[in-house]
Structure 1
Amino acid sequence: MNITLKQLRVFCALYELRSFTAAARATFITQSAVSKLCAELEAEVGQPLFERSTRSVTPCDGAADFYAYAQEILGTVRAAERSMQGLRSLERGRVGVATSPMMMVGLLGEVVADYHLAYPSVQLDLFELNTDETLESVRHGHADLGIVSTEPPQEALAMRKIYRDTMHVVCAENHPLVQRESVTWKDVAACDHIMLRNVYSVRRSLDKVAEKMNLQLRCRVEVGMLVSALRLVGLGLGVTVVPGYVCGLARQLGLRVLDIEGARNHGHELWLIQRHNARLSLAAAEFLDRMEAYLHKRQSREIDLKME
């Protein structure tokens, strides 16, 4: 088959958006060009990929499998393009980083700021996503690297542990936990909880702790963003358990952050993920070096504080 990258890009846009008009807008070509490229692709694969009507575009049987292969091909091309950008210097190029919204703010904010000040000509593409979306972003080459806090599947991804955080319980100033000299996991389990949905790795880490310690956590409200959970905690609806990189924001909101006895034995482990065999551009490699140095220093500082 003589399939072009342009055909694959148009096919993916049409598959995702289900509209010739939207696909044309997304790929910066005319609607008639989208229709022509799609027809040419269907002729190459020997079967229709979409059912067309005046109002909608519906993928045919087999289109989903073809989309997965197309994304794999385009992901490799994107990774190659990023690797070649700024290969000899840091005067240009772009770096894509994917992770959760709170991890981007609480853990990588300083790294991003320092990197931008050092290399203002390099474009930073920051993707604030849930865990599964982060994996897909890296797998498909939209991001050079990502950070998640649950061990990802190994298919198409290289991964290694990069940081280990500690979980804390956050509550309102007048919550009964504040009066305790120390707080155990059983004390935490006895409270009403505001929890993230399990598309986020914070929730998945908490579920692992609960399973390992045979705890039943009473989820009273489930939310999609940590800032929502913190707001509801402040209104007295319950407590929430967060990793250390969220504690600064919690304190800014006037909430109490309490240590949990033995929390370091059940750490919030963070994994660096990249595409297998993908060569980082000079710009992305420099960002990774700075990020690892920062996280190592932060980890050492936390250990020193615990030992005091």
Structure 2
Amino acid sequence: RAGGITRAADELGRTQPAISRRMALLETELGMPLFERTREGMVLSQAGEVLVPYAEQINALLADATDAMGTFLSDKAGPVSLVVVGTLAGASLGTVLKGFSRSCPLADLSLRTATSDEVSEQVRRGDAAIGLRYFDERAPDLETVPVGSENLAVVCAPAHPLAGKDVKSLRDLESEHWLSFPNHFERREASAETLFAQFLVRGAPSIDWSPVDSLTAQKRLIEAGYGLGFLPTASIEEELRVGSLSLIEVADLNVGNPIFAVVRKKAFLSGATCELLALLIAEFGGKA
């Protein structure tokens, strides 16, 4: 189109030797000449004529990719992946997701749940850009950001003798049957340790308990009078409102599970991913 290498180099903003070198490399790779020299200048060879429509398609795709990356960065668009501990997928997360859909309408958000250890592993593998887990994990390949704390409360059935009443110490509930998340290694949830740690520091090294790996199942079993639970207050707001669950106020208990956001160290975070991270910190930090 330009009629010569020098004019083509000027139009492309490159030097003539650089263009000549690129042309020679391409002809060597294809194994045939793409241009012929004539008195009027350089013209396409037959092979060059065949290649042109493909080259034009590639050039158009590169322009589309450049535009897409510009939108990805400036308009907060593109894929965003989030993995959270299941018990954190409550009202606060719902508020975050609503705000995110308003501020980043072009983003494509995917959400999954896992245990705290699995959250970190999925972020580490690149299966998720952001993780939300309990407790800090000091790992050389991850960055953890303290987000807030999730308040915990002792929960019982409305028919329990202590429903709505106060006790002086958690030790007063040592003989009760408890429900908690499993704490065996394969499916351990870091937050499960909180219940046992609270009894341990009060001189009760063991309690009667059953492992239940679903928050919903724990709530239903507690409602049925099967035991007590140590649950996030944000996860039982509806049950408390309708009266299907009750609280036991414990005077010497004021504890919560620390919440951390997890990202890969030195990972590229898109504009939409940064927006989601900021919303998570603002929402969960505000509930601390």
Q: TM-score, normalised by structure 1?
A: 0.63
Residue type at the aligned position of 2:73:
L
* Greater share of residues in helix: 1
Where structure 1 has 5 or more consecutive residues not aligned to the other structure, the ranges are: 1-82, 300-308
Contact 2:176 2:208 survives alignment (8 Å): no
Q: Looking at both structures, which has the greater relative contact order when contacts are Cα pairs under 8 Å and sequence separation is at least 6?
A: 2
Q: State the Cα distance separating 1:288 from its structure 2 match.
A: 1.2
CA distance in 2, matches of 1:243, 1:215: 22
Where structure 2 has 5 or more consecutive residues not aligned to the other structure, the ranges are: 1-68
- Aligned identity (percent) is 21
Residue type at the aligned position of 1:282:
G
Q: State the Cα distance separating 1:169 from its structure 2 match.
A: 0.6
Whether 2:182 is the aligned partner of 1:197: answer: yes
Whether 2:212 is the aligned partner of 1:223: answer: yes
Cα gap change, 1:253/1:204 in structure 2, threshold over 3 Å: closer, same or farther? farther
* Greater share of residues in strand: 2
Contact 1:167 1:260 survives alignment (8 Å): no
Choose from 58, 72, 83 the match for 1:98. Answer: 83
Q: TM-score, normalised by structure 2?
A: 0.68
Q: State the Cα distance separating 1:239 from its structure 2 match.
A: 0.4
Contact 2:164 2:248 survives alignment (8 Å): no
Cα gap change, 1:147/1:287 in structure 2, threshold over 3 Å: closer, same or farther? same
Cα gap change, 1:254/1:277 in structure 2, threshold over 3 Å: closer, same or farther? same
Structure 2 equivalent of residue 145 of structure 1: 130
Residue type at the aligned position of 2:265:
H
Structure 2 equivalent of residue 49 of structure 1: none
CA distance in 2, matches of 1:268, 1:211: 17
Q: State the Cα distance separating 1:253 from its structure 2 match.
A: 6.9
Contact 1:189 1:216 survives alignment (8 Å): no
Whether 2:165 is the aligned partner of 1:176: answer: no
Structure 1 equivalent of residue 120 of structure 2: 135
Choose from 250, 253, 276 the match for 1:263. Answer: 253
Number of residue pairs aligned between Structure 1 and Structure 2:
215
Structure 1 equivalent of residue 75 of structure 2: 89
Q: State the Cα distance separating 1:202 from its structure 2 match.
A: 2.6
CA distance in 1, matches of 2:250, 2:95: 27
Cα gap change, 1:208/1:176 in structure 2, threshold over 3 Å: closer, same or farther? same
CA distance in 2, matches of 1:166, 1:263: 11
Contact 1:193 1:240 survives alignment (8 Å): yes
Structure 1 equivalent of residue 37 of structure 2: none
Contact 1:193 1:217 survives alignment (8 Å): no
SS where residue 251 of structure 2 aligns?
A: coil
Q: State the Cα distance separating 1:178 from its structure 2 match.
A: 1.6
Structure 2 equivalent of residue 108 of structure 1: 93
SS where residue 140 of structure 2 aligns?
A: coil
Cα gap change, 1:280/1:263 in structure 2, threshold over 3 Å: closer, same or farther? farther
Q: State the Cα distance separating 1:272 from its structure 2 match.
A: 1.7
CA distance in 2, matches of 1:135, 1:270: 13
Q: State the Cα distance separating 1:164 from its structure 2 match.
A: 1.6
Cα gap change, 1:268/1:192 in structure 2, threshold over 3 Å: closer, same or farther? same
Larger Rg: 2
Post-superposition Cα deviations, 1:43-88, rounded to whole Å, max 9, x if no partner, equal xxxxxxxxxxxxxxxxxxxxxxxxxxxxxxxxxxxxxxxx998122
Cα gap change, 1:126/1:219 in structure 2, threshold over 3 Å: closer, same or farther? farther
Post-superposition Cα deviations, 1:225-274, rounded to whole Å, max 9, x if no partner, equal 1111111111111101012222224425710133332332x331112211
CA distance in 2, matches of 1:138, 1:170: 33
Structure 1 equivalent of residue 172 of structure 2: 187
CA distance in 2, matches of 1:216, 1:187: 14
Post-superposition Cα deviations, 1:116-136, rounded to whole Å, max 9, x if no partner, equal 133222111111111121111
CA distance in 2, matches of 1:103, 1:85: 31
Residue type at the aligned position of 1:258:
I
Contact 2:165 2:248 survives alignment (8 Å): no
